[in-house]
Amino acid sequence: MDQIKAYGVLNATQPLGPLQIIRRLIGANDVAINITYCGVCHSDIHQARNEWRNSLYPMVPGHEIVGIVADVGTNVKKFKIGDKVGVGCLVDSCRDCLDCREGLEQFCLKPIFTYNCLEKDNKTLAQGGYSTKIVVDQDFVLRIPDNLPLDQAAPLLCAGITTYSPLHHWNVGPGKRVAIIGLGGLGHMAVKIAHAMKAEVTVLSRTLDKGDDAKRLGSDHVYATNDPKTFEKLSRHFDLIINTVSVKLDWGAYLGLLKRDGCMVLLGVPTDAPELQASPLIMARRSLAGSLIGGIKETQEMLNFCGQHNITSDIELISIDKINEAYERIIKADVKYRFVIDIASLK
């Protein structure tokens, strides 16, 4: 066992602070990674604070992990020492169910998430990327394209794949009108990726304050959702809406912005359920769907797509001692557009 430095929480109410955690010794199929950067996802906050009522403590959050391979097990052929790699929200799965066999490990009934989950031995708590090192089975390690700077690539491991997956699944491309609700960590990646897929992209933000940024990131149009006229102007307008907001919204009003057969995909996870009438769905055969991160194969496909299109995240690099402040700023939507922790500050 290796004792390593980390940052995390002991319970739902205290701030994050330094912790020592244990990583397993490298097994035959494992890759040991020296973590260089870790992105800060809103899901880290939900879980650190037990907002989904399933938190396991002590908890070291972080599932947008990038780093350099430090060692490989005897069976590892895909990676070598010195490679630039990433780890996202999954570190293993049952590998046997239909979802696993179809490369959709995120829907496995026994997924092993990077943190807030038990490891395969069913007793060790999995711990995330606010730490100096991680040991992961080679099948759950991703390769980062060489042209992408590691710090800006880190958020691709969650925000990138979570938005790429539904855009890809719902066939976004030329001639499709896509709206992104919420210009935060997920939202800004959705804009960049949908733009690279050649869709017509609209940002629906609460105000027009982020309007110039939205255009710079690749959106064709920006509307403020605090203006009721937006909902009149854009009635029956979009093929697909990607909703990244983590609080209760009037889903019915947003469904009205879809064309016939359009779909709104939920990515944000509100803790209290919005009320939804059937009529906005029935009146134009619309659908409401959800999507969860992406499988390993698709995550590598997304990384390669981002490599080809030179897509990375707009980040604010922080030292680990700024993490509690960063959480507060994320909650106020005061981040442009993802915090990334420089893990050198933890060593």
Residues in touch with ligand NAP (CB under 6 A): 41-43, 46, 158, 162, 182-187, 205-206, 210, 244-247, 267-269, 291-293, 330, 333
Give, as ranges, the residues between 102 and 141 that touch Zn ion (CB under 5 A): 108
Q: What share of the chain is helix, strand, coil (3-state, %, to 5)?
A: 30, 30, 45
Q: Which does 100 bind (CB under 5 to 8 A by kind): ligand NAP, Zn ion, none?
A: Zn ion
Please state, in angstroms and rounded to a whole number, the distance separating the CA atoms of residues 230 and 227: 6
For 243, the token pair is 């909703």
Binding of residue 299 to Zn ion (CB under 5 A)? no
Q: With respect to ligand NAP, which residue has the nearer C-beta, 61 or 185?
A: 185
Q: Is residue 97 within the footprint of Zn ion (CB under 5 A)?
A: yes
Which DSSP helix (H) or strand (E) runs through 188?
helix 185-196
Site for Zn ion, residues 34 to 63, rule: CB under 5 A: 41, 43
Task: Between 108 and 153, name the residue whose CB sits nearer to Zn ion.
Answer: 108
**269 binds, options ligand NAP, Zn ion, none, Cβ within 5 to 8 A by partner type:** ligand NAP
Shortest Å, Cβ 159 to ligand NAP: 6
Find, among 111, 112, 156, 109, the residue nearest to 134 by Cα. Answer: 112
264 vs 202: CA distance, rounded Å: 14
In angstroms, give the least distance from the CB of 112 to Zn ion. 10
On whether the CB atoms of residues 130 and 346 are closer than 8 A, the answer is yes
* Residue 156 contacts Zn ion per CB under 5 A: no
Q: Long-range contacts of range 217-223, CB-CB < 8 Å, 24 or more positions apart? A: 217/183, 217/188, 217/191, 217/192, 217/314, 217/337, 218/191, 218/192, 218/194, 219/180, 219/191, 219/195
Place of tokens 């010195």: 82
55 binds, among ligand NAP, Zn ion, none (CB under 5 to 8 A by kind): none
- Nearest-approach distance from CB 162 to Zn ion, in angstroms: 7
| 73-88 b/e (C-beta count within 10 Å ≥ 16 → b) | beebeebeeebbbbbb
144 binds Zn ion (CB under 5 A): no
Q: Which does 94 bind (CB under 5 to 8 A by kind): Zn ion, ligand NAP, none?
A: Zn ion
Query: In this chain, which residue has its C-beta nearest to ligand NAP?
Result: 184
CB of 145 to Zn ion, least distance (A): 20
CB atoms closer than 10 angstroms to residue 246: 20
Residue 139's φ and ψ, nearest 5 degrees, are -70, -10
In the complex, least distance from residue 5 CB atom to ligand NAP, rounded to whole angstroms: 25
Which of 36, 93, 114, 152 binds Zn ion (CB under 5 A)? It is 93
Q: CA dist 129 to 4, 68, 190, 211, 326, Å?
A: 12, 13, 23, 32, 16
Residue carrying structure tokens 């002991």: 10
Residue closer to ligand NAP by CB (options 43, 93) is 43
DSSP helix/strand/coil, 192: helix
Cβ nearer to ligand NAP, comparing 315 with 330: 330
- In angstroms, what is the minimal distance from the CB of 121 to ligand NAP? 26
Closest contact distance (angstroms) between CB of 42 and ligand NAP is 3
Cβ closest to ligand NAP, residue 79 vs residue 238: 238
Which residues of the shown chain bind Zn ion in the complex (CB under 5 A)? 41, 43, 93-94, 97, 100, 108, 158
